[in-house]
Chain A
Amino acid sequence: MIEYILGYLHSDVTPGEAGNLFWVTVYVLLVFLGISVGVIFMNWFERKVMAHMQVRIGPMRVGPHGLLQPVADALKLIIKEDLMPAHADKIVFWFAPVCVVMTAFCGFIVVPFGRTHAITDMNIGVLFMLGVSSLGVLGVIMAGWASNSQYPLMGSLRSGAQMVSYEVAMCMSVVSAVMMTSLVTGTGTMSMIGIVQAQEQQHMWFAFSFFPVGLTALGVFAIAMVAETNRAPFDLPEAESELVAGFLTEYSGFRWSLFFLAEYAGMMAVSAIATTLWLGGWLRPFPHLLGGANWDTAFSLVPGLGFILLGALCLFYAVKMPKLRSMRGNLLGLAGFGAFLAAMGLFMLLPGVRTRVQDIFWFTIKVGFFMYLYIWYRTTFPRYRFDQLMKIGWKFLLPISIAVVVLTAVIGVRQELLALLFSSWFGGRR
Protein backbone atom coordinates (compact mmCIF):
# COMPACT_ATOMS: atom_id res chain seq x y z
CA MET A 1 0.00 0.00 0.00
CA ILE A 2 2.69 2.45 1.09
CA GLU A 3 4.85 1.40 -1.82
CA TYR A 4 1.91 2.02 -4.14
CA ILE A 5 1.48 5.53 -2.77
CA LEU A 6 5.21 6.26 -2.91
CA GLY A 7 5.36 4.91 -6.44
CA TYR A 8 2.66 7.31 -7.47
CA LEU A 9 4.53 10.27 -5.98
CA HIS A 10 7.19 9.86 -8.66
CA SER A 11 4.78 9.65 -11.61
CA ASP A 12 4.64 12.56 -13.99
CA VAL A 13 1.04 12.50 -15.21
CA THR A 14 -2.13 13.83 -13.64
CA PRO A 15 -4.43 11.21 -12.13
CA GLY A 16 -7.08 11.98 -14.72
CA GLU A 17 -4.62 11.23 -17.50
CA ALA A 18 -3.56 8.00 -15.83
CA GLY A 19 -7.22 7.05 -15.50
CA ASN A 20 -6.64 6.03 -11.89
CA LEU A 21 -9.94 6.50 -10.06
CA PHE A 22 -8.42 6.02 -6.60
CA TRP A 23 -6.01 8.91 -7.05
CA VAL A 24 -8.69 10.96 -8.73
CA THR A 25 -10.85 10.63 -5.63
CA VAL A 26 -7.94 11.42 -3.34
CA TYR A 27 -7.07 14.52 -5.37
CA VAL A 28 -10.71 15.64 -5.47
CA LEU A 29 -10.97 15.36 -1.70
CA LEU A 30 -7.63 17.13 -1.23
CA VAL A 31 -8.72 19.98 -3.50
CA PHE A 32 -11.99 20.26 -1.62
CA LEU A 33 -10.18 20.36 1.69
CA GLY A 34 -7.65 22.86 0.40
CA ILE A 35 -10.30 25.20 -0.99
CA SER A 36 -12.34 25.02 2.20
CA VAL A 37 -9.31 25.81 4.33
CA GLY A 38 -8.47 28.59 1.89
CA VAL A 39 -11.96 30.05 2.25
CA ILE A 40 -11.74 29.91 6.04
CA PHE A 41 -8.35 31.59 5.94
CA MET A 42 -9.56 34.21 3.46
CA ASN A 43 -12.48 35.04 5.73
CA TRP A 44 -10.12 35.77 8.61
CA PHE A 45 -7.54 37.47 6.43
CA GLU A 46 -10.09 39.73 4.74
CA ARG A 47 -11.49 40.95 8.06
CA LYS A 48 -8.02 41.47 9.48
CA VAL A 49 -6.66 43.33 6.44
CA MET A 50 -9.80 45.44 6.07
CA ALA A 51 -9.68 46.27 9.75
CA HIS A 52 -6.08 47.38 9.60
CA MET A 53 -6.72 49.43 6.46
CA GLN A 54 -9.50 51.19 8.38
CA VAL A 55 -7.32 51.63 11.48
CA ARG A 56 -9.20 49.07 13.57
CA ILE A 57 -7.82 45.82 14.93
CA GLY A 58 -10.51 43.45 13.68
CA PRO A 59 -11.41 40.11 15.29
CA MET A 60 -9.32 39.56 18.39
CA ARG A 61 -11.43 37.51 20.79
CA VAL A 62 -11.96 34.02 19.38
CA GLY A 63 -8.57 32.40 19.37
CA PRO A 64 -5.25 34.25 19.18
CA HIS A 65 -5.68 37.30 16.94
CA GLY A 66 -9.14 36.05 16.00
CA LEU A 67 -7.75 33.04 14.11
CA LEU A 68 -10.72 30.86 15.10
CA GLN A 69 -13.35 33.47 14.27
CA PRO A 70 -14.39 31.84 10.95
CA VAL A 71 -14.81 28.48 12.69
CA ALA A 72 -17.00 30.09 15.33
CA ASP A 73 -19.03 31.77 12.59
CA ALA A 74 -19.53 28.49 10.77
CA LEU A 75 -20.71 26.84 13.99
CA LYS A 76 -23.11 29.70 14.60
CA LEU A 77 -24.49 29.43 11.09
CA ILE A 78 -25.06 25.68 11.42
CA ILE A 79 -27.15 25.98 14.58
CA LYS A 80 -29.06 29.03 13.34
CA GLU A 81 -32.69 28.68 12.32
CA ASP A 82 -33.12 28.53 8.58
CA LEU A 83 -36.13 30.39 7.23
CA MET A 84 -37.84 29.79 3.93
CA PRO A 85 -40.47 32.25 2.69
CA ALA A 86 -43.93 30.70 2.60
CA HIS A 87 -44.42 31.46 -1.09
CA ALA A 88 -40.98 30.31 -2.16
CA ASP A 89 -40.46 27.59 -4.71
CA LYS A 90 -39.23 24.96 -2.26
CA ILE A 91 -37.20 22.69 -4.53
CA VAL A 92 -35.48 25.48 -6.47
CA PHE A 93 -34.87 27.38 -3.24
CA TRP A 94 -33.14 24.31 -1.83
CA PHE A 95 -31.21 23.51 -4.97
CA ALA A 96 -29.88 27.04 -5.66
CA PRO A 97 -27.06 27.01 -3.05
CA VAL A 98 -26.13 23.44 -3.97
CA CYS A 99 -25.92 24.44 -7.63
CA VAL A 100 -23.81 27.49 -6.84
CA VAL A 101 -21.37 25.46 -4.76
CA MET A 102 -21.11 22.74 -7.40
CA THR A 103 -20.35 25.18 -10.20
CA ALA A 104 -17.95 27.28 -8.14
CA PHE A 105 -15.88 24.27 -7.10
CA CYS A 106 -16.03 22.50 -10.46
CA GLY A 107 -13.61 24.95 -12.05
CA PHE A 108 -10.85 23.51 -9.91
CA ILE A 109 -10.91 20.22 -11.84
CA VAL A 110 -8.53 21.61 -14.43
CA VAL A 111 -6.53 24.08 -12.30
CA PRO A 112 -2.89 22.98 -12.43
CA PHE A 113 -1.29 23.52 -9.02
CA GLY A 114 1.84 21.96 -10.49
CA ARG A 115 2.93 19.78 -13.39
CA THR A 116 1.16 16.74 -11.92
CA HIS A 117 -0.88 18.46 -9.23
CA ALA A 118 -4.07 18.77 -11.20
CA ILE A 119 -7.06 16.50 -10.97
CA THR A 120 -7.11 16.17 -14.72
CA ASP A 121 -5.92 17.96 -17.79
CA MET A 122 -8.25 18.46 -20.71
CA ASN A 123 -7.32 19.81 -24.09
CA ILE A 124 -10.18 22.30 -23.72
CA GLY A 125 -9.23 23.25 -20.15
CA VAL A 126 -9.65 27.02 -20.43
CA LEU A 127 -12.97 26.69 -22.22
CA PHE A 128 -14.20 24.25 -19.59
CA MET A 129 -13.17 26.59 -16.82
CA LEU A 130 -14.86 29.63 -18.40
CA GLY A 131 -17.99 27.61 -19.10
CA VAL A 132 -18.25 26.24 -15.60
CA SER A 133 -17.55 29.57 -13.94
CA SER A 134 -20.26 31.25 -16.01
CA LEU A 135 -22.72 28.51 -15.04
CA GLY A 136 -22.63 30.06 -11.56
CA VAL A 137 -25.06 32.70 -12.78
CA LEU A 138 -27.69 29.96 -13.10
CA GLY A 139 -27.64 29.30 -9.37
CA VAL A 140 -27.86 33.02 -8.65
CA ILE A 141 -30.88 33.43 -10.94
CA MET A 142 -32.47 30.35 -9.35
CA ALA A 143 -31.95 31.81 -5.89
CA GLY A 144 -33.52 35.11 -6.82
CA TRP A 145 -36.45 33.60 -8.64
CA ALA A 146 -37.25 30.94 -6.05
CA SER A 147 -37.37 33.45 -3.19
CA ASN A 148 -40.50 35.04 -4.70
CA SER A 149 -39.65 38.38 -3.17
CA GLN A 150 -38.87 41.71 -4.78
CA TYR A 151 -35.34 42.41 -3.60
CA PRO A 152 -33.86 38.98 -4.36
CA LEU A 153 -35.34 38.93 -7.86
CA MET A 154 -34.01 42.40 -8.62
CA GLY A 155 -30.61 41.42 -7.24
CA SER A 156 -30.42 38.22 -9.24
CA LEU A 157 -31.47 39.97 -12.46
CA ARG A 158 -28.77 42.56 -11.93
CA SER A 159 -26.26 39.88 -11.08
CA GLY A 160 -27.15 37.93 -14.20
CA ALA A 161 -26.86 40.99 -16.44
CA GLN A 162 -23.55 41.92 -14.85
CA MET A 163 -21.94 38.49 -15.03
CA VAL A 164 -23.08 38.07 -18.61
CA SER A 165 -21.75 41.48 -19.71
CA TYR A 166 -18.31 40.98 -18.26
CA GLU A 167 -18.12 37.41 -19.51
CA VAL A 168 -17.69 38.74 -23.05
CA ALA A 169 -14.67 40.91 -22.27
CA MET A 170 -13.23 38.12 -20.14
CA CYS A 171 -13.47 35.55 -22.95
CA MET A 172 -11.91 37.98 -25.42
CA SER A 173 -8.87 38.57 -23.24
CA VAL A 174 -8.53 34.80 -22.74
CA VAL A 175 -8.48 34.41 -26.55
CA SER A 176 -5.41 36.64 -26.71
CA ALA A 177 -3.60 34.51 -24.11
CA VAL A 178 -4.51 31.32 -25.98
CA MET A 179 -3.08 32.88 -29.13
CA MET A 180 0.22 33.54 -27.39
CA THR A 181 0.67 29.82 -26.66
CA SER A 182 1.31 29.13 -30.36
CA LEU A 183 4.15 31.62 -30.82
CA VAL A 184 7.06 29.18 -30.61
CA THR A 185 5.63 25.78 -31.48
CA GLY A 186 3.20 26.95 -34.14
CA THR A 187 0.22 25.16 -32.66
CA GLY A 188 -1.46 26.58 -29.61
CA THR A 189 -3.21 24.78 -26.81
CA MET A 190 -6.14 25.37 -24.52
CA SER A 191 -5.08 22.88 -21.86
CA MET A 192 -4.20 24.63 -18.61
CA ILE A 193 -1.00 22.62 -18.19
CA GLY A 194 -0.10 23.22 -21.83
CA ILE A 195 -0.48 26.96 -21.40
CA VAL A 196 1.96 27.04 -18.49
CA GLN A 197 4.39 24.84 -20.38
CA ALA A 198 4.18 27.22 -23.34
CA GLN A 199 5.17 30.06 -21.01
CA GLU A 200 8.06 27.94 -19.78
CA GLN A 201 9.18 27.33 -23.37
CA GLN A 202 8.94 30.98 -24.36
CA HIS A 203 10.87 32.02 -21.22
CA MET A 204 8.19 34.66 -20.64
CA TRP A 205 5.01 35.04 -18.66
CA PHE A 206 2.23 36.00 -21.02
CA ALA A 207 1.61 39.15 -18.97
CA PHE A 208 4.87 40.50 -20.41
CA SER A 209 4.65 39.12 -23.96
CA PHE A 210 4.36 41.84 -26.64
CA PHE A 211 4.91 44.24 -23.80
CA PRO A 212 1.78 46.35 -23.34
CA VAL A 213 -0.57 43.87 -25.07
CA GLY A 214 -0.28 40.99 -22.61
CA LEU A 215 -0.47 43.33 -19.66
CA THR A 216 -3.59 44.98 -21.08
CA ALA A 217 -5.24 41.59 -21.53
CA LEU A 218 -4.42 40.76 -17.92
CA GLY A 219 -5.81 44.14 -16.85
CA VAL A 220 -9.08 43.55 -18.71
CA PHE A 221 -9.33 40.09 -17.16
CA ALA A 222 -8.50 41.40 -13.69
CA ILE A 223 -11.30 43.97 -13.88
CA ALA A 224 -13.77 41.55 -15.44
CA MET A 225 -13.11 38.88 -12.84
CA VAL A 226 -14.01 41.24 -10.00
CA ALA A 227 -17.33 41.97 -11.71
CA GLU A 228 -17.81 38.30 -12.54
CA THR A 229 -17.63 37.30 -8.88
CA ASN A 230 -19.86 40.19 -7.72
CA ARG A 231 -17.23 41.73 -5.51
CA ALA A 232 -16.70 45.36 -4.56
CA PRO A 233 -16.63 47.81 -6.33
CA PHE A 234 -18.95 45.87 -8.65
CA ASP A 235 -21.07 44.29 -5.88
CA LEU A 236 -24.30 45.76 -7.23
CA PRO A 237 -26.31 42.56 -6.69
CA GLU A 238 -25.57 42.76 -2.98
CA ALA A 239 -25.69 46.54 -2.71
CA GLU A 240 -26.98 46.77 0.84
CA SER A 241 -27.92 50.42 0.49
CA GLU A 242 -30.46 49.70 -2.26
CA LEU A 243 -31.23 45.99 -2.44
CA VAL A 244 -30.88 44.85 1.22
CA ALA A 245 -28.69 41.85 0.32
CA GLY A 246 -29.62 41.15 -3.29
CA PHE A 247 -30.35 37.53 -4.08
CA LEU A 248 -29.23 36.52 -0.58
CA THR A 249 -32.00 38.46 1.17
CA GLU A 250 -34.23 35.47 1.91
CA TYR A 251 -31.37 33.10 2.69
CA SER A 252 -30.23 32.49 6.23
CA GLY A 253 -28.34 29.91 8.23
CA PHE A 254 -26.25 27.36 6.45
CA ARG A 255 -27.77 27.97 3.03
CA TRP A 256 -26.39 31.48 3.21
CA SER A 257 -22.96 30.20 4.17
CA LEU A 258 -22.98 27.89 1.15
CA PHE A 259 -23.35 31.01 -1.00
CA PHE A 260 -20.50 32.57 0.92
CA LEU A 261 -18.34 29.49 0.35
CA ALA A 262 -19.18 29.53 -3.35
CA GLU A 263 -18.35 33.22 -3.66
CA TYR A 264 -14.87 32.77 -2.24
CA ALA A 265 -14.28 29.55 -4.17
CA GLY A 266 -15.30 31.39 -7.33
CA MET A 267 -12.88 34.21 -6.53
CA MET A 268 -10.08 31.68 -6.15
CA ALA A 269 -11.09 29.93 -9.37
CA VAL A 270 -10.94 33.07 -11.52
CA SER A 271 -7.70 34.12 -9.81
CA ALA A 272 -6.34 30.68 -10.68
CA ILE A 273 -7.27 31.23 -14.34
CA ALA A 274 -5.54 34.61 -14.34
CA THR A 275 -2.45 33.09 -12.70
CA THR A 276 -2.31 30.22 -15.15
CA LEU A 277 -2.84 32.29 -18.26
CA TRP A 278 -0.71 35.34 -17.53
CA LEU A 279 1.46 34.85 -14.46
CA GLY A 280 3.10 31.58 -15.37
CA GLY A 281 1.03 29.23 -13.19
CA TRP A 282 3.29 27.09 -11.04
CA LEU A 283 6.58 28.43 -12.49
CA ARG A 284 8.88 30.01 -9.95
CA PRO A 285 9.93 33.64 -10.45
CA PHE A 286 12.86 34.20 -12.85
CA PRO A 287 13.32 30.57 -13.96
CA HIS A 288 15.75 31.64 -16.70
CA LEU A 289 17.28 34.89 -15.48
CA LEU A 290 18.31 33.18 -12.24
CA GLY A 291 18.60 29.68 -13.74
CA GLY A 292 20.97 26.89 -12.83
CA ALA A 293 21.05 24.18 -10.17
CA ASN A 294 22.10 26.51 -7.34
CA TRP A 295 19.25 28.94 -7.88
CA ASP A 296 16.85 26.01 -8.29
CA THR A 297 17.80 24.70 -4.87
CA ALA A 298 17.65 28.16 -3.36
CA PHE A 299 14.15 28.79 -4.68
CA SER A 300 12.94 25.33 -3.68
CA LEU A 301 13.97 26.12 -0.08
CA VAL A 302 11.70 29.19 0.03
CA PRO A 303 8.40 27.40 0.91
CA GLY A 304 9.90 25.50 3.85
CA LEU A 305 11.77 28.54 5.15
CA GLY A 306 8.64 30.66 4.77
CA PHE A 307 6.62 28.26 6.87
CA ILE A 308 9.36 28.15 9.51
CA LEU A 309 9.40 31.96 9.56
CA LEU A 310 5.62 32.03 10.04
CA GLY A 311 5.95 29.51 12.87
CA ALA A 312 8.70 31.60 14.48
CA LEU A 313 6.46 34.67 14.22
CA CYS A 314 3.62 32.83 15.95
CA LEU A 315 5.98 31.71 18.73
CA PHE A 316 7.33 35.26 19.08
CA TYR A 317 3.84 36.70 19.52
CA ALA A 318 2.93 33.89 21.88
CA VAL A 319 5.88 34.87 24.06
CA LYS A 320 4.93 38.53 23.85
CA MET A 321 1.36 37.84 24.96
CA PRO A 322 0.32 39.26 28.38
CA LYS A 323 0.82 36.61 31.04
CA LEU A 324 -2.75 36.38 32.27
CA ARG A 325 -4.57 33.30 33.48
CA SER A 326 -7.43 33.99 31.05
CA MET A 327 -5.04 34.21 28.10
CA ARG A 328 -3.44 30.82 28.77
CA GLY A 329 -5.59 28.99 26.22
CA ASN A 330 -4.78 31.54 23.56
CA LEU A 331 -1.08 31.39 24.40
CA LEU A 332 -0.94 27.61 24.16
CA GLY A 333 -3.00 27.66 20.98
CA LEU A 334 -0.80 30.19 19.25
CA ALA A 335 2.38 28.44 20.34
CA GLY A 336 0.99 25.10 19.17
CA PHE A 337 -0.04 26.62 15.84
CA GLY A 338 3.46 28.06 15.45
CA ALA A 339 5.04 24.71 16.26
CA PHE A 340 2.73 23.04 13.71
CA LEU A 341 3.70 25.56 11.02
CA ALA A 342 7.39 25.14 11.80
CA ALA A 343 7.05 21.34 11.64
CA MET A 344 5.36 21.66 8.24
CA GLY A 345 8.18 23.94 7.12
CA LEU A 346 10.78 21.37 8.23
CA PHE A 347 8.86 18.67 6.35
CA MET A 348 8.89 20.83 3.24
CA LEU A 349 12.67 21.15 3.42
CA LEU A 350 13.12 17.41 2.77
CA PRO A 351 14.75 16.98 -0.65
CA GLY A 352 12.07 14.64 -2.04
CA VAL A 353 9.21 16.78 -0.83
CA ARG A 354 10.44 20.26 -1.65
CA THR A 355 10.71 19.72 -5.39
CA ARG A 356 7.08 18.66 -5.55
CA VAL A 357 5.70 21.12 -3.03
CA GLN A 358 7.26 24.28 -4.41
CA ASP A 359 4.99 24.28 -7.49
CA ILE A 360 1.93 24.43 -5.26
CA PHE A 361 3.61 27.12 -3.16
CA TRP A 362 4.35 29.47 -6.06
CA PHE A 363 0.89 28.93 -7.53
CA THR A 364 -0.73 29.72 -4.19
CA ILE A 365 1.39 32.83 -3.75
CA LYS A 366 0.26 34.16 -7.13
CA VAL A 367 -3.39 33.37 -6.44
CA GLY A 368 -2.96 34.98 -3.02
CA PHE A 369 -1.77 38.16 -4.71
CA PHE A 370 -5.07 38.40 -6.60
CA MET A 371 -7.02 37.59 -3.46
CA TYR A 372 -5.25 40.41 -1.67
CA LEU A 373 -6.20 42.72 -4.55
CA TYR A 374 -9.85 41.77 -3.98
CA ILE A 375 -9.61 42.93 -0.35
CA TRP A 376 -7.72 46.04 -1.33
CA TYR A 377 -10.37 46.98 -3.91
CA ARG A 378 -13.10 46.48 -1.35
CA THR A 379 -11.63 48.94 1.09
CA THR A 380 -10.53 51.45 -1.53
CA PHE A 381 -13.15 51.90 -4.23
CA PRO A 382 -16.70 53.20 -3.81
CA ARG A 383 -19.44 51.15 -5.45
CA TYR A 384 -20.42 51.92 -9.04
CA ARG A 385 -23.94 52.79 -10.16
CA PHE A 386 -25.59 50.18 -12.35
CA ASP A 387 -25.49 52.26 -15.53
CA GLN A 388 -21.81 52.99 -14.93
CA LEU A 389 -21.20 49.29 -14.48
CA MET A 390 -22.82 48.46 -17.81
CA LYS A 391 -20.92 51.31 -19.44
CA ILE A 392 -17.57 49.99 -18.22
CA GLY A 393 -18.38 46.47 -19.34
CA TRP A 394 -19.69 47.19 -22.83
CA LYS A 395 -18.17 50.51 -23.85
CA PHE A 396 -14.75 50.31 -22.22
CA LEU A 397 -13.64 46.72 -21.62
CA LEU A 398 -15.16 45.11 -24.72
CA PRO A 399 -13.54 47.45 -27.31
CA ILE A 400 -10.22 47.20 -25.49
CA SER A 401 -10.36 43.40 -25.44
CA ILE A 402 -11.25 43.22 -29.14
CA ALA A 403 -8.32 45.54 -29.87
CA VAL A 404 -6.06 43.31 -27.77
CA VAL A 405 -7.08 40.24 -29.76
CA VAL A 406 -6.46 41.99 -33.09
CA LEU A 407 -3.13 43.43 -31.90
CA THR A 408 -1.94 40.04 -30.66
CA ALA A 409 -2.82 38.47 -33.99
CA VAL A 410 -1.12 41.20 -36.01
CA ILE A 411 2.06 41.18 -33.90
CA GLY A 412 2.06 37.37 -33.87
CA VAL A 413 2.15 37.04 -37.66
CA ARG A 414 4.09 40.29 -38.25
CA GLN A 415 6.91 38.64 -40.22
CA GLU A 416 4.61 36.97 -42.70
CA LEU A 417 2.52 40.13 -42.89
CA LEU A 418 5.56 42.30 -43.63
CA ALA A 419 6.86 39.79 -46.17
CA LEU A 420 3.51 39.83 -47.94
CA LEU A 421 3.31 43.61 -47.94
CA PHE A 422 6.86 43.99 -49.25
CA SER A 423 6.37 41.47 -52.03
CA SER A 424 3.12 43.06 -53.14
CA TRP A 425 4.44 46.64 -53.07
CA PHE A 426 7.96 46.23 -54.35
CA GLY A 427 7.31 43.10 -56.36
CA GLY A 428 4.79 44.96 -58.52
CA ARG A 429 7.26 47.69 -59.54
CA ARG A 430 9.84 45.30 -60.85
Chain B
Amino acid sequence: MPQNYIPIFVFLLVAFAVAAGTLIIAKMVRPSNPEKVKGMAYECGIEAQEGSRQRHTVRFYIIAILFVVFDVETIFLFPWAVQFKLLGVFGLVEMLVFLGILVLGFAWVWKKGALEWI
Protein backbone atom coordinates (compact mmCIF):
# COMPACT_ATOMS: atom_id res chain seq x y z
CA MET B 1 0.00 0.00 0.00
CA PRO B 2 2.47 2.68 -1.08
CA GLN B 3 -0.26 5.32 -1.27
CA ASN B 4 -0.57 5.11 2.51
CA TYR B 5 2.87 6.66 2.84
CA ILE B 6 2.39 9.61 0.50
CA PRO B 7 0.62 11.75 3.17
CA ILE B 8 3.88 11.75 5.16
CA PHE B 9 5.48 13.96 2.55
CA VAL B 10 2.45 16.23 2.31
CA PHE B 11 2.46 16.56 6.08
CA LEU B 12 6.22 17.23 6.26
CA LEU B 13 5.83 19.90 3.58
CA VAL B 14 2.96 21.59 5.41
CA ALA B 15 4.77 21.35 8.76
CA PHE B 16 7.91 22.87 7.30
CA ALA B 17 5.90 25.62 5.57
CA VAL B 18 4.06 26.49 8.80
CA ALA B 19 7.17 26.56 10.98
CA ALA B 20 9.39 28.38 8.50
CA GLY B 21 6.56 30.65 7.39
CA THR B 22 5.78 31.86 10.90
CA LEU B 23 9.49 32.47 11.50
CA ILE B 24 9.68 34.56 8.33
CA ILE B 25 6.51 36.48 9.23
CA ALA B 26 7.90 37.12 12.71
CA LYS B 27 11.12 38.34 11.12
CA MET B 28 9.20 40.90 9.06
CA VAL B 29 7.19 42.17 12.02
CA ARG B 30 9.66 42.27 14.89
CA PRO B 31 12.23 44.98 15.59
CA SER B 32 15.90 44.14 15.26
CA ASN B 33 18.55 46.23 17.02
CA PRO B 34 21.44 43.87 17.56
CA GLU B 35 24.09 45.00 20.04
CA LYS B 36 27.29 43.46 21.24
CA VAL B 37 25.90 42.79 24.69
CA LYS B 38 22.72 41.23 23.34
CA GLY B 39 24.75 38.79 21.27
CA MET B 40 26.65 37.44 24.26
CA ALA B 41 25.90 33.95 25.49
CA TYR B 42 23.88 33.82 28.71
CA GLU B 43 26.20 33.48 31.69
CA CYS B 44 24.65 34.97 34.84
CA GLY B 45 25.63 38.51 33.91
CA ILE B 46 29.35 37.96 33.52
CA GLU B 47 31.24 37.34 30.30
CA ALA B 48 31.50 33.69 29.32
CA GLN B 49 34.99 32.38 30.01
CA GLU B 50 35.18 29.81 27.24
CA GLY B 51 32.94 28.26 24.61
CA SER B 52 30.72 25.32 25.38
CA ARG B 53 32.24 22.97 22.81
CA GLN B 54 34.27 21.02 25.30
CA ARG B 55 34.33 17.64 27.03
CA HIS B 56 31.37 16.39 29.00
CA THR B 57 30.90 13.58 31.42
CA VAL B 58 31.19 10.07 30.00
CA ARG B 59 27.86 9.08 31.59
CA PHE B 60 25.96 10.45 28.62
CA TYR B 61 27.86 8.16 26.25
CA ILE B 62 27.15 5.13 28.43
CA ILE B 63 23.45 5.96 28.42
CA ALA B 64 23.54 6.33 24.65
CA ILE B 65 25.21 2.93 24.18
CA LEU B 66 22.75 1.25 26.56
CA PHE B 67 19.90 2.87 24.67
CA VAL B 68 21.11 1.48 21.35
CA VAL B 69 21.32 -2.03 22.80
CA PHE B 70 17.89 -2.01 24.40
CA ASP B 71 16.09 -0.16 21.63
CA VAL B 72 17.34 -2.61 19.03
CA GLU B 73 16.10 -5.32 21.36
CA THR B 74 12.59 -3.88 21.36
CA ILE B 75 12.69 -3.56 17.57
CA PHE B 76 13.42 -7.29 17.42
CA LEU B 77 10.51 -7.91 19.78
CA PHE B 78 7.94 -6.23 17.52
CA PRO B 79 7.81 -8.86 14.71
CA TRP B 80 7.39 -11.58 17.31
CA ALA B 81 4.78 -9.55 19.21
CA VAL B 82 2.58 -9.34 16.11
CA GLN B 83 2.75 -13.10 15.48
CA PHE B 84 3.23 -14.47 19.00
CA LYS B 85 -0.10 -16.28 19.08
CA LEU B 86 0.73 -18.20 15.90
CA LEU B 87 4.29 -18.96 16.95
CA GLY B 88 2.96 -20.31 20.24
CA VAL B 89 5.18 -21.95 22.83
CA PHE B 90 8.08 -22.35 20.39
CA GLY B 91 8.23 -18.60 19.74
CA LEU B 92 7.81 -17.89 23.44
CA VAL B 93 10.80 -20.05 24.38
CA GLU B 94 12.91 -18.56 21.60
CA MET B 95 12.05 -15.05 22.74
CA LEU B 96 12.64 -15.92 26.39
CA VAL B 97 16.15 -17.10 25.48
CA PHE B 98 16.75 -13.85 23.59
CA LEU B 99 15.32 -11.76 26.43
CA GLY B 100 17.24 -13.84 28.98
CA ILE B 101 20.58 -13.00 27.37
CA LEU B 102 19.70 -9.34 27.38
CA VAL B 103 18.46 -9.44 30.96
CA LEU B 104 21.74 -11.12 31.95
CA GLY B 105 23.60 -8.29 30.26
CA PHE B 106 21.35 -5.79 31.98
CA ALA B 107 22.04 -7.40 35.36
CA TRP B 108 25.78 -7.23 34.65
CA VAL B 109 25.54 -3.57 33.68
CA TRP B 110 23.56 -2.90 36.85
CA LYS B 111 26.13 -4.78 38.98
CA LYS B 112 29.02 -2.92 37.34
CA GLY B 113 27.39 0.37 38.32
CA ALA B 114 26.96 1.74 34.80
CA LEU B 115 23.45 2.78 35.76
CA GLU B 116 24.61 4.79 38.78
CA TRP B 117 24.73 8.51 38.16
CA ILE B 118 27.40 10.04 40.35
Contacts and interface: CB of A to CB of B under 8 A. Distances in A.
A419 to B, nearest CB: 9
A182 B84 contact: yes
Contact of B63 (A123, A188, A390): A390
A299 interface: no
B89 A150 contact: no
A59 to B, nearest CB: 23
Contacts of A78: 22, 25-26, 29-30
Interface stretch (A60-68, A82-90, A271-279, A375-383): A82-90
Contacts of B92: 409-410, 413, 417
Nearest to A77: B26
Interface residues of B, number: 70
A178 B4 contact: no
Nearest to A164: B67
A94 B23 contact: yes
Give the dominant DSSP class at A's interface: helix
Nearest to B32: A81
B85 A182 contact: yes
B15 A387 contact: no
B8 A420 contact: no
Contacts of B43: 149-150
Interface string A310-321: 000000000000
Nearest to B18: A32
B54 to A, nearest CB: 9
A363 interface: no
A133 to B, nearest CB: 13
A250 interface: yes
Given A127-B78, A249-B42, A402 B1 contact: no
B84 A179 contact: yes
Given A16-B4, A123-B1, A153-B52, A417 B89 contact: yes
A412 B85 contact: yes
A204 interface: no
A27 B77 CA distance: 33
A203 interface: no
Interface string A169-191: 00110011011011100111110
B21 to A, nearest CB: 10
B82 A105 contact: no
A119 B89 contact: no
A120 B4 contact: yes
Nearest to B86: A186
Residue of B43, B77, B103 most packed against chain A (CB within 10 A): B77
B51 A254 contact: no
A122 B16 CA distance: 22
Interface of B: 1, 3-8, 10-12, 14-16, 18-20, 22-23, 25-27, 29-34, 36, 38-43, 48, 51-53, 56, 59-60, 63-64, 66-67, 70-71, 74-75, 77-78, 81-86, 88-89, 92, 95-96, 99, 103, 106, 110, 115-118
12 contacts: A15-B7, A24-B7, A81-B31, A97-B23, A168-B70, A172-B77, A175-B81, A178-B81, A187-B85, A390-B63, A402-B103, A416-B89
Given A86-B39, A402-B103, A405-B81, 14 more contacts: A80-B30, A81-B33, A87-B51, A101-B19, A120-B4, A164-B63, A167-B67, A168-B70, A172-B74, A188-B83, A253-B26, A391-B115, A399-B106, A413-B89
